[in-house]
Chains A and B, each alone.
Chain A
Amino acid sequence: MTWIEKTQIMDADGIRRALVRIAHEIIEKNKGVKNLALVGIRRRGVPLAQRIAEQIKKIEDVDIPIGILDITLYRDDISTLAHQPVIHRTEIPFPLAGKKIVLVDDVLYTGRTVRAALDALVDMGRPEFIQLAVLVDRGHRELPIRADYVGKNVPTSKREMVSVMVKGIDQDERVFIREFTD
């Protein structure tokens, strides 16, 4: 029983183009970048948020504040896990009150991670609103959650897993589908 790689769905250029488009969409939808802040969900949402902020800087010449969110303490499956996951720091170096927050994650799947992130954010302050940006939306939602900005929609089966690799955390920079085989 192993995971085997099935198909590659994005290469490094594909990821870059998707993030450039998301950056443009964020600026367009919010009519500028006033009060805008990005919050990356650990782990791979963090480098993605940084990339989007770099693109926004290129387009609008404004530095967007970036926060880092660890959602472990808000997971809904914590008491069913065999061992407690390691907790990392949440670092949001700006007050959330009145901010337009774009939450950034790599893959949107069941929606449970986003649910946890929303709970964590509202415990820290009251933003004006929260939007969601993801690199890949693979479907199979278990909660009524949707993304405002999507890099790529990828139909998948539940036996598959979408792996996002980004420089800064991984050696490679690409997105591919793996399948569980017996």
Chain B
Amino acid sequence: MYLRGKDVLGLENMTPEEIKLILETAGPMKDIIRRDIKKVPTLRGKCVVTLFYEPSTRTRSSFELAGKYMGADVVNISTSTSSVVKGESLRDTVLTLQAMGVDIIIVRHPAEGAAQYIARSVKAGVINGGDGTHEHPTQALLDMFTIRQYKGSLAGKKVVIVGDILHSRVARSNIWGLNKFGADVHVVGPGTLLPPDMGKMGVTVHHRMEEALEGADVVNILRIQLERQQKGLFPTSREYARLFGINQQRLSYAKPDVLIMHPGPMNRGLEIAPDVAYDERSAIEEQVTNGVAVRMALLYLLSGGGNIEISN
């Protein structure tokens, strides 16, 4: 069992076996996070770089800690303090990193396909930390890991993804991943935030919250991406909260043991009511822990093989 390529760019082109391997490797990794000594020597001598062209707290720090817990050296590059502001191209930046001996590059970029472009340009492994509105595979993997943790399996579970599907790479990666494991995926949100060809992705589209949430096992509430909301796709935040915000009353349509998830950062009072965020059925903090475990698993699985000629 192993990953086919040197990169993890998205879930659309991954096989269910590869995804399963990642999720099952993440289990033992999570035990390490809970230990007093949160460090194993597995990736000693490997160098991991996070290259983020968009702001991030949890994805970047989660990758950084994952690398450090595995014993790798981690360098963080945020574009506002790097040569990118001097006009260096993406390709030149990653070639420079490669020349310094980097083994794995984690990239987040506003342009769709940026990670794939980098992966073709370098020998190092590339992990997509989010490319535009395309994919965010590590978030989807940690979401799937979290659902498996609480619900046992993904097959047949009704998973409702709520909110700004149009701009959401989290939604796209989740849909591709969940469908491969036979989950029953539903999406709901304002018509202006649902892509018109959504049905082709193999999900059920709803416009009314109550109808979507009926009997749900999992509700995954997306962040309203205010930075991508310049076009006036919904009239006001208050109106969005009133029609599509998740509150206890709406949640009562779902199963009593519904799992509440949110990729963060939360806009409390907008897409999620504060008492829902802190509900005992909420797995939002657990998702963060699981995110580190899943990323440790990815770094482990990508750091073997391929380097044989170098080490001999």
Interface members, chain A 109-127 (any B CB < 8 Å): 119-120, 123-125
Interface segment, one of A15-23, A58-66, A80-88, A168-176: A80-88
Cβ-based interface call for A73 (8 A): yes
Q: Which residues of B contact A70 (CB under 8 A)?
A: 28
Whether the Cβ atoms of B308 and A124 lie closer than 8 Å is no
The closest CB in chain B to the CB of A81 belongs to B304
A82 to B25, CA, bound (A): 17
Whether A80 pairs with B42 at a CB distance below 8 angstroms is no
Select the stretch in B32-40, B78-86, B232-240, B283-291 that faces chain A: B32-40
| Cβ-defined contact, A82 with B305, below 8 A | yes
**Bound complex: CA A82 to CA B1 (Å):** 11
| Cβ–Cβ < 8 Å partners of A78 in chain B | 42, 303-304
Closest to A92 in B: B31
Contact for A86 among B1, B29, B31, CB less than 8 A: B1
A44 CB to closest chain B CB, in angstroms?
Answer: 19
Contact A124 B35 (CB under 8 A): yes
Whether B28 pairs with A90 at a CB distance below 8 angstroms is yes
B237 to chain A minimum Cβ distance, whole angstroms, is 45
Compute how far the CA of A6 lies from the CA of B78 in the bound complex, rounded to whole angstroms.
61
User: What residues on A are CB-neighbors of B270 within 8 Å?
Assistant: none
Interchain nearest-CB distance for A88 vs B (Å)? 6
Task: From the candidates A80, A89, A119, name the one contacting B31 in the complex (CB within 8 A).
Answer: A89
Once the chains are docked, how many angstroms separate the CA of A79 from the CA of B47?
Answer: 13
How far is B24's CA from A73's CA once the two chains are assembled, in angstroms?
15
Does B305 lie within 8 Å of A84, measured CB to CB? yes
Q: Contacts A79-B311, A81-B305, A83-B305; is A123 near B2 (CB within 8 Å)?
A: no
Please name 17 further chain A to chain B contacts, defined as beta carbons within 8 Å, in addition to the given A79-B46, A83-B2, A124-B36, sorted by A numbering. A74-B41, A75-B42, A78-B304, A79-B45, A79-B303, A79-B307, A79-B311, A80-B312, A81-B305, A82-B308, A83-B304, A86-B21, A87-B29, A89-B27, A90-B28, A90-B31, A123-B40
